[in-house]
Chain A
Amino acid sequence: MKLLKLAVLATVLGGAATAETPGVTDSTITLGAVLPMSGPASIPGLGSAAGSRVAIEEVNAKGGINGRKVQMLIEDDGYVPSRAYQGLVKLMDDGIFALVGTSGAASLVAMLPLIDEKELPTMVTTSVSRAAVEPLRPYVYMVGADYEDMFYAQIKYISEHDKPEGPYAVIRQDDDYGALVEAGVMMAVEKLGLPSVPPVRFKRGQKDFAAEILRLRTQKIGALAVGGVIAETPAVMKELAKLRMNIPTANPHTGAIGMTLRLAAPFGMTYYAADYVTPIDSDGAKTFRELSAQFLSEEETKSLNRFSLAAYLGTKAVLAAAEMCGDDLTQACVSAKLKTIDNLDSGGLSAPLDFTNDKNTAARSVQVFAVNPMEGTVVPVTDFVSYR
């Protein structure tokens, strides 16, 4: 009888806990995402949304999380931080269990105070940002290697494979992202004892680099790291081609997305890029492409890119943590279970996911690619390697 009473009490308390958990009903779990879904910055937003949807539909096809179907609400911030904040408030009003899309770095920092206040389980995948994990929060997790590591990996590969004779240079935009690119290159220069020239900074949004590249040519550089976002890589390639500077260049992960390849193709230059997820057209992403074909509309499939893979992995991890919580589906439980995720199979999309480290960050291993825009190929030239 006593046991029966305890069981009834536990059921009532368990039911009450679930009823009070935002975004959870008896039949559904609602995830939220604030992403740039419109305007010029929509490439990562649309890609991330599609990636998260694949993870959600994959789980739903298997019966959901302990019988609950998963759904997702998206707010468009247009890459404007104040709108990201408003969007997150809207999602919280509507009731979300966890946040699986956090837009750009500036939008993320605008949302962080609110995330802190509500201790909302959050998975950062769109834009890797130190602010998310420094200081460490038990409810904020991230998928992705530091930009420093991505550039360190490429400079190391170039120094071992291409062995350029001239000094190493970096041209980077003047923001937090650019500072990390420069730090990665300088880390490689120091650790590997490579010659270098002073870094060149440019105002974000600059699209013409004729003067900068001409100056670097006079310095007889042997290799160049390009710390731009998307259009900067083809713009630099154009200048290098014009000046016949056939030197190896290191680029951000966006150097390997379709749009950058199409823009860079006319200049006849090959280059390197690095990422913590495998190229979306590679064999490693075959299973993901098959799942996408199964679950996404034709319109959504067109928006798939490397951001989709990162968002897929992040959402998959959140859903795996929710599964682990079983009937105790609370935000605190999911945050705690995420911390225990170690060696979660990424299906070859990245290194296995491990959040047990001191940065709450998985997929920190980096793969270097050889990019040939003329042939439209992105070929991994290294395995996923951790530099931490």
Chain B
Amino acid sequence: MRTGHAVETYPRLLALTTNPVTWAWVAVLLIGLVALPWVVSGHLLVVSTSILIAAVGVVGLNVLTGTTGLISLGQSGFLAIGGYACGLLIKEVGLPAEAAIPLAGLITGTLSLLIGIPSLRLKGLYLAITTLAASLIITHIILYAEPLTGGPFGLRIPDVSFVGLRISDPVGMYFTALIVAVLVALFVNNLMRARSGRAWIALRDHDIAAKSMGINLVSYKLLAFFVSSSIVGLSGALMAMQLRFITSDVFGLFLSIEALAMLLVGGVGSVAGAILGAAFIVLLPEIARNLLEVFGWSGDGSSTHVFEIRAVLTGVIIIVMLRIEPDGLIGLWRKVKRYWLQWPLPI
């Protein structure tokens, strides 16, 4: 059993993991994810797809907020750009989904620079409000650009295939989301180990010190905006493909708040935490439903209180979760791991 961690070469320091056991667990997880459509119900498959889509978005948000320390409430706006860009590229330009999804991400990233450049001098709550305002402007533009976006009447996305997987088929959509989620997780995990990732962490922890070490704050902040928003755009594209009919209402402000909640609950600054947080928050209504069904309260409509109780229970679980473990689910996981590795010694 491994009880310590030491690396002697730079390539090993940059490796995703030096522990073969970790790779074995990752392989088990991937096999489980691939087998999932054949073992769960249609509803749980759709929930799993939603978790993957949310995870992509939260991993993107984590690059900006968790790693670089720039708080963003503009998630819903970037999701909307990604969703509409993907929809329009498929419907109006006739591009295949394989090209439309990454292009939607790139378009979102490029447009996010318009918000990123004026926001360079801002941080903390000021940046949060700026990005919030930006997302309001984005939904406003979508609403008024009726000839292009369908305005208030929305945009229908044709049924297309992604690497041979039909998006109208829940299994096809699940694998589409899984492929994008795995690629994004690998990409961001690698980025974190490269110069850019270390630079982002440095400017999050102390921007003046980072500048004195030769890190170009402007470039790296803009890069963080671009990378983060591009990934969020991919999530928006997947959302649009899952629903196949989007209006600006689909990308409500609530999504920005929910994304931040996912990040906090999962653990700020960690890719694994972002994924855990997305899974936890998306599954919460299901957890609350099952908890209530244990007590014989189902959603048959005979009680008007059951749905409110379910919504309140969801909020209570988030509060309790953060109270027990402020570092989020990933903090909890690290504690459990440390306890296991050091047992019987105290942690």
Chain A interfacial positions (CB closer than 8 Å to B): 33, 37-39, 42, 46, 49-50, 52-53, 71-76, 78, 80-83, 85-86, 89-90, 92-93, 104-106, 109-110, 112-113, 117, 130-131, 174-179, 203, 297, 299-300, 302-303
CB distance from A31 to the nearest CB of B (A): 10
CA distance A89 to B311 in the complex (A): 20
Q: In angstroms, how far is the closest chain A Cβ from the Cβ of B298?
A: 9
Question: Are A93 and B310 touching (Cβ within 8 A)?
Answer: no
Contact B300 A299 (CB under 8 A): no
Q: Does B41 contact A (CB under 8 A)?
A: yes
Q: A86-B46, A299-B305 are known; give 11 further A-B pairs, CB within 8 A.
A: A37-B299, A49-B304, A72-B301, A74-B299, A81-B250, A85-B46, A93-B43, A105-B247, A110-B250, A117-B168, A131-B153
Q: Which of B242, B247, B308 has a CB less than 8 Å from the CB of A109?
A: B247
B152 at the interface (CB under 8 A from A): yes
B245 touches A112 (CB 8 A): yes
- Contact in complex: B42, A78 (CB < 8 Å): no
Known contacts A76-B299, A82-B250: does B152 contact A110 (CB below 8 Å)? no
Looking at B136, B151, B243, B285, which has the most chain A CB atoms within 10 Å of its CB?
A: B243
Q: CB-CB < 8 A to A52: which residues of B?
A: 301
Q: Are the C-beta atoms of A74 and B301 separated by less than 8 Å?
A: yes
Answer whether residue B239 sits at the interface, using C-beta atoms and an 8 A cutoff: yes
* Residues 243-276 of chain B, each 1 if its beta carbon lies under 8 Å from chain A, else 0: 1110111101010000000000000000000000
B113 at the interface (CB under 8 A from A): no
CA distance A38 to B303 in the complex (A): 12
Distance A46 CA – B239 CA, assembled complex (angstroms): 28
Question: What A residues does B239 contact at CB under 8 A?
Answer: 82
What are 19 inter-chain pairs, A to B, with CB distance below 8 A?
A33-B301, A37-B304, A38-B308, A39-B311, A72-B301, A73-B301, A74-B307, A75-B299, A81-B247, A81-B250, A82-B50, A89-B170, A93-B42, A113-B245, A117-B168, A131-B154, A179-B152, A300-B302, A302-B304
Q: How far is the CA of A80 from the CA of B54 in the complex (A)?
A: 14
Chain B residues, CB < 8 A from A302: 304
Of B143, B243, B249, which is within 8 A of A113 by CB?
Answer: B243
Min CB–CB distance A170 → chain B (angstroms): 15
- Is there an interface contact between B308 and A81, defined as CB atoms closer than 8 Å? no
Query: Complex: how many Å from CA A299 to CA B42?
Result: 33
Which residues of the other chain, B, contact A112 by a CB distance below 8 angstroms? Answer: 245
Say yes or no for B47: interface residue by CB 8 A criterion: yes
* B140 proximal to A (CB < 8 A): yes
Instruction: For the complex formed, measure the closest distance between the CB of A47 and the CB atoms of chain B, giving whole angstroms.
Output: 10
Instruction: Kindly identify which residue among B47, B50, B304 contacts A300, using a CB–CB cutoff of 8 Å.
Output: B304
Give CA–CA (A337, B143) in the complex, Å: 38
Q: How far in angstroms is the closest Cβ of chain B from A136?
A: 15
CB distance from B128 to the nearest CB of A (A): 19
- Report, nearest first, the 10 A-B pairs whose CB atoms are least far apart: A176-B152, A37-B307, A106-B249, A38-B311, A90-B43, A113-B244, A38-B307, A74-B301, A76-B307, A89-B46
Q: Are B300 and A72 in contact (CB under 8 A)?
A: yes
A72 to B144, CA, bound (A): 39
Measured CA separation A72–B305 after assembly (Å)? 17
Residues of chain A with a CB closer than 8 A to B250's CB: 81-82, 106, 110
- The A-contacting residues of B in range 118-152, CB under 8 angstroms, are 136, 140, 143-144, 151-152
Q: Chain B residues near A74 (CB, 8 Å)? A: 299-301, 307
Q: Is the CB of B245 within 8 A of A109?
A: yes
Q: Roughly how many angstroms separate A297 CA and B47 CA in the complex, as a whole number? A: 33
- Minimal beta-carbon separation of B323 from chain A (angstroms): 23
Contact B300 A71 (CB under 8 A): yes
Chain B residue nearest to A112 in the complex (CB):
B245
Q: Is there contact, CB below 8 Å, between A303 and B299?
A: no
Task: Give min CB distance, B303 to chain A, whole Å.
Answer: 7
Name the residue of chain B whose CB is nearest to the CB of A302: B304
Closest to B245 in A: A109
Chain A residue at smallest Cβ distance from B152? A176
Cα-based distance from A74 to B297 in the complex (angstroms): 13
- How many angstroms from the CA of A177 to the CA of B152 in the assembled complex? 8
How far does the alpha carbon of A104 sit from the alpha carbon of B153 in the complex, in Å?
13
Kindly list chain A residues whose C-beta atoms are within 8 Å of the C-beta of B307: 37-38, 42, 74, 76
Contact residues in B for A303 (Cβ distance below 8 Å): 304
Q: Is the CB of A113 within 8 A of B43?
A: no
Closest to B169 in A: A117
Residues of chain B lying within 8 A (CB to CB) of residue A117: 168
**Structural contact, A86 and B302, CB atoms closer than 8 A:** no
